[in-house]
A and B are shown apart, each in its own frame.
Chain A
Amino acid sequence: MARIDLVDLAQSYNGNDAPLESFALKPVTMTWRQGGAYALLGPSGCGKTTLLNLISGIVTPSRGQILFDGKDITPLSTQKRNIAQVFQFPVIYDTMTVGENLAFPLKNRGVARAEVEARVKQIADLLDLTPYLNRKATRLTADAKQKISLGRGLVRSDVAAVLFDEPLTVIDPELKWQLRSKLKALHRELDLTMIYVTHDQTEALTFADTVVVMHDGRVVQSGTPAELFDKPEHTFVGYFIGSPGMNIVPAEVSGHEARIDGHVIGLHRNYGVLPAGKKIEIGVRPEFVDVAAPASGLLSAKIERIDDLGRIQFARVRIGNTKLAARVPPGFSVSGDTAGLIFNPAYVHVYADSHLVEGVA
């Protein structure tokens, strides 16, 4: 159990002299607190697995340090790091029974027999593996195997953190929910730091108290699910999280006003004069844009189609060449192919070169 600090950590697979832009992980400094449930979220190839492998020691960083409770463990091998990791595909030791599989990490570290048994029993109980303890692990289904892999990750009580690398990829959707809530329960029960890598936002948002969003080798935002939803610090977070993602619209911004297509939208904060030469956009989630009957005071848009998600309807609209999604308020029925858009100014954010600009209240 430990607090994990990453200090200016970076990784390049092409050598340290490669240009920074080509790094798989650009320098990152952050802290993971003891006992937290974290999710590393991002699309494939964004560097999240690299970051995980750096923490576990499978990959040695090109630059920077990793500290466990303030102690530099960067040069230590995986075996000496006291970390557990669960991989995307189940890893099972074929010749062993389920029980022996679970006991393997403890036996390798010379833990006393009685303690091994107690711990294996506890973990098997938590994962509903008790009936299979004496069975050969090879004969089980993929999800049972992955449960064993999870169990091997959780069986050591002294680990600094348990890392999960998209562990539910091979699991059937119905079981995914079960296992995910099981993991959440295990987290509360065992008081372990857990870091969960995924490209699935639902998985990340349901599992973690802190979600770290990565994009192109950078950590673009880390925060609670609510923070990521309400106030994305980067346009990438805006459209990666949420379904449909955030509307990002080029605009001219000055003071309390944003101007799209000559139409003025009120803003909640004062942005003064933004630096010239930067790409200025406003971002607003579809949930905070309502369609209404066309009126002279409203930004008018062309309706392309309506997506009915059951509980809520989104209109896909177009202003010039810019596509937006907007909520269809309950009870409103769309007629014709043009509509007016009503923005909720409290949730309209301003971005300069994709980064959030904080206005003055």
Chain B
Amino acid sequence: MDKTINQKAWFLVLPVFLVVAFSAVLPLMTVVNYSMQDTFGNNQFFWNGVGWFKELLDPSTDLGGRFLASLGRNLFFSAVILAIEVPLGIVVALSMPREGWTVAACLVILALPLLIPWNVVGTIWQIFGRPDIGLLGYVLNHLGFNYNYVSNEVDAWVTVIVMDVWHWTSLVALLCYAGLKSIPDAYYQAAQIDGASRWAVFKAIQLPKMNRVLLIAVLLRFMDSFMIYTEPFVVTGGGPGNSTTFVSIELVKIALGQFDLGKAAALSLVYNLIILIVCWVFYTVMTNAGSERPVKEGAA
């Protein structure tokens, strides 16, 4: 059959093309443009080629040192919160009721932290942890722990991590709960018949069935924690010193604090690239995990 050729159809694509161009392509190109230049303000730009990128990857320079240090902190932070939130989320999901009115109650309570805006979460914990007026800080100090997130690096890290766990474990738990709910009763009954212990049920049925939602949970939590900005900025402002300065905080310092647009643009491009690569790896893993086709009997 011959295709109908109608050039007017391009006009139907035009609105999307324009929106994407203005919302994504042009800003990105501007950043690429900045990343190749240096400026001293006054809208004067000087060509710098790939200079900023070289500096960025060289730890002996100021820019490279700051970038790599904050990247290290950020990766460590993501690893820690994943190591806490994923198992904790699974445990919470497993201990939730499977039916009755308590299900709704649990879901609402779990969803609450997810509904609070990031900067409010930051403010809550900033006050909560203060040794003078915050409930947590006050109690801890009265119990004899010398807790102060403003001056102690370990305390600052603990505060930021606990805050993230409080804020986001619910997400993992809700995803896992959805995965658990999709397991037919017959599996549990069969496991009972087969004499499986609680641990065997978890290992043989629940964990494999949660596989896919867990991948999504890990992906979402990794991306979010890798891009974290607001909460630590509100609570610690990146301090004490630079101890809780994550990549996005460093980026904002360079771009808006020092007005080094070239450096900041180069950093944000590399930052973006890392996120894209991680996304791609996760996407590949997830689609491959789901593409197992049944093999016809006798095809051995």
Which A positions have Cβ atoms within 8 angstroms of B? 53, 56-58, 77-79, 83-85, 87-89, 91, 93-96, 104-105, 108-109, 131-132, 135-136, 138-144, 149, 152-153
Contact = CB atoms under 8 A, between A and B. Distances in A.
Given A94-B208, A96-B204, A56 B197 contact: no
A89 B184 CA distance: 10
Interface stretch (B160-168, B185-193, B250-258): B185-193
B100 interface: no
Interface residues of B, number: 25
A153 B203 CA distance: 20
Given A93-B205, A94-B209, A140-B294, A108 B197 contact: yes
Given A94-B209, A105-B194, A87 B297 contact: no
B292 A138 contact: yes
Given A93-B205, A138-B292, A149 B190 contact: yes
A83 B293 contact: no
Contact of B196 (A85, A104, A149): A104
A140 B295 contact: yes
A108 B189 contact: no
A141 B186 contact: no
Contact of B194 (A77, A94, A152): A152
Given A89-B186, A131-B300, 17 more contacts: A56-B193, A58-B192, A78-B192, A78-B193, A83-B193, A85-B193, A91-B187, A94-B209, A104-B196, A108-B196, A109-B195, A135-B295, A139-B292, A140-B295, A140-B297, A141-B294, A152-B194
Interface in B172-192: 184, 186-187, 189-190, 192
Contacts of B3: none
A120 to B, nearest CB: 13
B193 A105 contact: yes
A141 B193 CA distance: 23
A147 to B, nearest CB: 9
Interface in B247-300: 292-297, 300
Nearest to A105: B194
Contacts of B220: none
Contacts of B195: 79, 105, 108-109
A104 B292 contact: no
Contacts of A136: 292
A91 B294 contact: no
A93 B295 CA distance: 17
A139 B193 contact: no
A94 B208 CA distance: 7
Contacts of A149: 190
Most A CB contacts (10 A, CB to CB) among B193, B203, B204, B294 go to B193
